């Protein structure tokens, strides 16, 4: 069924939790143009088959038409800061090695020796030569072969034909992307509106303060979809209901032949419209302030403050963030200080925007198993006032059953939030697989418009 975009109700509004445009109209600072940009909702699809999440056949289609054919976020430049550093990017049963090949130049190669196929980079390595540990065939960091032990025995495989197979690799603002398709178009086309919206965001001046990679027992889409809508907040994260507008989240999608970018903006320092009569604006501001105050910073006596509104909350957050970073946020809008502005670039990357929640997600199918994936989360903080880049945090690896909270990974309140999300995700996968198979699954028109758009694009690419 073709949806009429005009027929879609765009969120729930109440007097204390208005729609996002009404909140923006009351901002005490100039609102960034990115927050005023609006996408479209013209897409198709009302119900999807459950097999999208577990069919090995469909996973193969995705591997061939999505993962082998699209630009995808693979790593941050700060993870391989020196020439000669390299890092593995593994996705959907394929492995690539990204190499810092010359100052500011990054290259990506299939991560496999041309002799008998051994992996050349396991996780991370460095050095001015790439030497296979099995029999010692060796490459320069630009991928040209430098040494072929036993070359007399390989008349069929001669050194001049043994450069490492390269795949397109490009960077944008400190982020490295690859595309396994050697005929790929430019990265800039796949970035779509991101280049405009993040033009002055100084992504390259941010650093990874926390980095956690977790194995998840679900299809990559199930894990990702848990983060593509804010509507589950009231049921799944009830502790955040008093100070986050979930069902008044603003959703936008920008899509063309080369790119699908979508965005959700969940306002903070307003109560959830789902609270109905119990919604309380003062409580929303107080809870938000408590949530963002790190240990060691004194909180005011809120009972003595007459007006507690979003403007107060934003000013409070400016103070806390300046105390933490030494940077000046006096001109930054209330919206940027408070709200959860989450962008998504098809197929696997979520760069968040603003100071409200400086998160950064990446998802990958784990091997070729449609029932498993990787969720990778970072905190990407602005550089300290002295301008010196701290080293990127060491990655913490969590296994399938490891919890964020029990491992105290350091995302603060988000540790609990991620555990709550992971409490649903494997159950969604199991239920999709084990439920009545001819019963389709439904997405909401507005709250789940980004999920619809994701599936519609995958279906188009896979031609199903
Ligand atoms: S497999 Fe790499 S040198 Fe033999
Ligand atoms: Fe969640």
Q: Give the domain CATH number at 101.
A: 2.102.10.10
Q: Are 115 and 122 in contact (CB under 8 A)?
A: no
Compute, in angstroms, the gap from residue 447 CA to the centroid of ligand 2: 13
Residue 314: phi, psi to the nearest 5? -65, -40
Q: Is the CB of 113 under 6 A from ligand 1?
A: yes
Per-residue pLDDT tens digits for 221-230: 999 999 999 9
Q: What is the pLDDT of residue 11?
A: 87
**Same domain flag for 353 and 428:** yes
DSSP 351-401: EEESSS--EEEEEEE-TT-TT-EEEEEEEEEEPPTT-PPPPPPPPEEE-TT
**Any domain includes 62:** no
**Any domain includes 423:** yes
Per-residue pLDDT tens digits for 168-192: 999 999 999 999 999 999 999 999 9
E strands within 124-259? 124-125, 129-131, 138-140, 145-147, 166-167, 169-172, 175-178, 206-216, 250-255
Cβ neighbors of 364 (< 8 A, separation 6 or more) are 90, 91, 92, 220, 348, 373, 374, 376
Environment of ion ligand 2 (residues, CB < 5 A): 421
**Same domain flag for 146 and 225:** no
Q: Is the CB of 116 under 6 A from ligand 1?
A: yes
User: Which of 15, 459, 379 is CA-nearest to residue 206?
Assistant: 379
Cβ neighbors of 105 (< 8 A, separation 6 or more) are none
Domain interval for residue 439? 5-57+186-462
Alpha-carbon distance of 91 to 347, in angstroms, equals: 12
Q: Which ligand is nearest to the CA of 134?
A: 1
pTM for this predicted structure: 0.96
**Same domain flag for 190 and 166:** no
**Same domain flag for 327 and 217:** yes
Q: Total domain count for the chain?
A: 2
Write out the two tokens for 104: 């500011």
Alpha-carbon distance of 403 to 380, in angstroms, equals: 21
The SS3 of residue 9 is: coil
Instruction: Using pLDDT thresholds of 50, 70 and 90, give the confidence band for residue 196.
Output: very high
**Same domain flag for 135 and 261:** no
**Same domain flag for 211 and 136:** no
> What string of H, E and C letters represents the secondary structure of 293-351?
CCCCCCCCCHHHCCCCCHHHHHHHHHHHHHHHHCCCCCCCCHHHHHCEEEEEECCCEEE
Report CA torsion sign: 254, 417, 405, 294.
Answer: positive
- Rg of the chain on CA atoms, in Å: 23
Alpha-carbon distance of 369 to 445, in angstroms, equals: 30
Q: Are 356 and 339 in contact (CB under 8 A)?
A: yes
Alpha-carbon distance of 147 to 131, in angstroms, equals: 9
Alpha-carbon distance of 247 to 143, in angstroms, equals: 51
Q: Which one of 155, 178, 201 terminates a domain?
A: 178
Alpha-carbon distance of 449 to 203, in angstroms, equals: 27
Q: What is the mean pLDDT of the chain?
A: 94
Q: Which one of 161, 178, 195 terminates a domain?
A: 178
**Any domain includes 428:** yes
Residue 1 has pLDDT above 70, yes or no: no
Q: Are 378 and 213 in contact (CB under 8 A)?
A: no
Q: Is the CB of 442 under 6 A from ligand 1?
A: no
Residue 166 has pLDDT above 80, yes or no: yes
**Any domain includes 250:** yes
Per-residue pLDDT tens digits for 291-321: 999 888 889 999 999 999 999 999 999 999 8
Residue 61 has pLDDT above 80, yes or no: yes
* Lowest-pLDDT choice from 32-46, 84-98, 351-365, 369-383: 32-46
**Same domain flag for 213 and 301:** yes
Q: Is the CB of 134 under 6 A from ligand 1?
A: yes
**Same domain flag for 82 and 129:** yes
* Residue 410: other Cβ atoms inside 10 A: 15
Q: Which one of 109, 143, 178 terminates a domain?
A: 178
Residue 383 has pLDDT above 70, yes or no: yes
**Same domain flag for 170 and 190:** no
Which residue owns the Cα nearest ligand 1 atom 1? 116
**Any domain includes 364:** yes
**Same domain flag for 16 and 128:** no
Contacts of 238-242 spanning 24+ positions with Cβ under 8 A:
239/416, 240/291, 240/413, 240/417, 241/271, 241/272, 241/274, 241/275, 242/271, 242/272, 242/275, 242/280, 242/283, 242/284, 242/287
Give the mean pLDDT of 115-121. 98
**Any domain includes 65:** no
Q: What is the pLDDT of residue 5?
A: 64
Q: Which ligand is nearest to the CA of 131?
A: 1
**Same domain flag for 155 and 195:** no
Per-residue pLDDT tens digits for 412-440: 889 999 999 999 999 999 999 999 999 99
Alpha-carbon distance of 364 to 63, in angstroms, equals: 11
Per-residue pLDDT tens digits for 441-462: 999 999 999 999 999 999 999 9
**Same domain flag for 19 and 127:** no
Instruction: Using pLDDT thresholds of 50, 70 and 90, give the confidence band for residue 42.
Output: low
Alpha-carbon distance of 379 to 55, in angstroms, equals: 33
Q: Which ligand is nearest to the CA of 162?
A: 1
Which residue owns the Cα nearest ligand 1 atom 3? 135
**Any domain includes 66:** no
């Amino acid at each position: 069924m073709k949806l009429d975009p005009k027929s879609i109700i765009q969120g729930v509004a109440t007097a204390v939790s208005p729609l996002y445009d009404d909140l923006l109209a009351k901002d005490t600072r100039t609102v960034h143009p990115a927050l005023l940009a609006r996408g479209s909702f013209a897409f198709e699809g009302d119900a999807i088959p459950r097999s999208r999440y577990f069919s090995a056949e469909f996973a193969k289609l995705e591997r061939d038409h999505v993962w082998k054919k699209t630009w995808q976020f693979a790593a941050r430049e700060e993870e391989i800061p020196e020439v000669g550093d390299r890092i593995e990017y593994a996705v959907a049963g394929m492995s690539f090695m990204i190499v810092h090949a010359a100052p500011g130049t990054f290259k990506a190669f299939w991560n496999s020796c041309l002799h008998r196929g051994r992996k050349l980079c396991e996780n991370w390595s460095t050095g001015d030569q790439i030497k296979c540990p099995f029999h010692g065939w060796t490459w320069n960091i630009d991928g040209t072969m430098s040494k072929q032990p036993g070359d007399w025995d390989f008349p069929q495989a001669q050194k001049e034909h043994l450069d490492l197979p390269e795949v397109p690799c490009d960077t944008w603002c400190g982020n490295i992307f690859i595309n396994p398709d050697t005929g790929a178009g430019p990265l800039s086309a796949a970035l779509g509106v991101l280049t405009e919206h993040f033009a002055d965001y100084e992504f390259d001046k941010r650093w990874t303060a926390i980095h956690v990679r977790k194995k998840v027992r679900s299809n990559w889409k199930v894990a990702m979809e848990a983060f593509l809508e804010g509507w589950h907040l009231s049921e799944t994260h009830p502790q955040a209901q008093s100070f986050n507008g979930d069902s008044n989240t603003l959703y936008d999608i920008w899509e063309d032949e080369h790119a699908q970018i979508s965005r959700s903006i969940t306002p903070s320092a307003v109560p959830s419209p789902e609270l109905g009569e119990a919604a309380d604006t003062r409580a929303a501001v107080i809870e938000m302030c408590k949530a963002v105050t790190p240990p060691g910073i004194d909180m005011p006596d809120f009972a003595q403050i007459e007006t507690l509104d979003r403007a107060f909350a934003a000013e409070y957050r400016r103070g806390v963030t300046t105390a933490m970073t030494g940077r000046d946020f006096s001109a930054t809008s209330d919206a940027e200080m408070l709200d959860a502005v989450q962008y998504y670039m098809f197929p696997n990357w979520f760069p968040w925007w603003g100071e409200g929640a400086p998160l950064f997600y990446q998802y990958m199918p784990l091997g070729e198993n449609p029932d498993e994936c990787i969720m990778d989360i970072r905190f990407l903080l602005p550089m300290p006032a002295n301008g010196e880049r701290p080293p990127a945090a060491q990655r913490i690896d969590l296994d399938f059953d490891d919890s964020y909270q029990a491992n105290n990974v350091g995302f603060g309140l988000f540790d609990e939030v991620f555990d709550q999300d992971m409490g649903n995700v494997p159950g969604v996968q199991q239920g999709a697989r084990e439920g009545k198979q001819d019963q389709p699954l439904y997405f909401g028109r507005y709250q789940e418009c980004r999920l619809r758009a994701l599936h519609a694009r995958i279906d188009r690419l896979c031609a199903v």
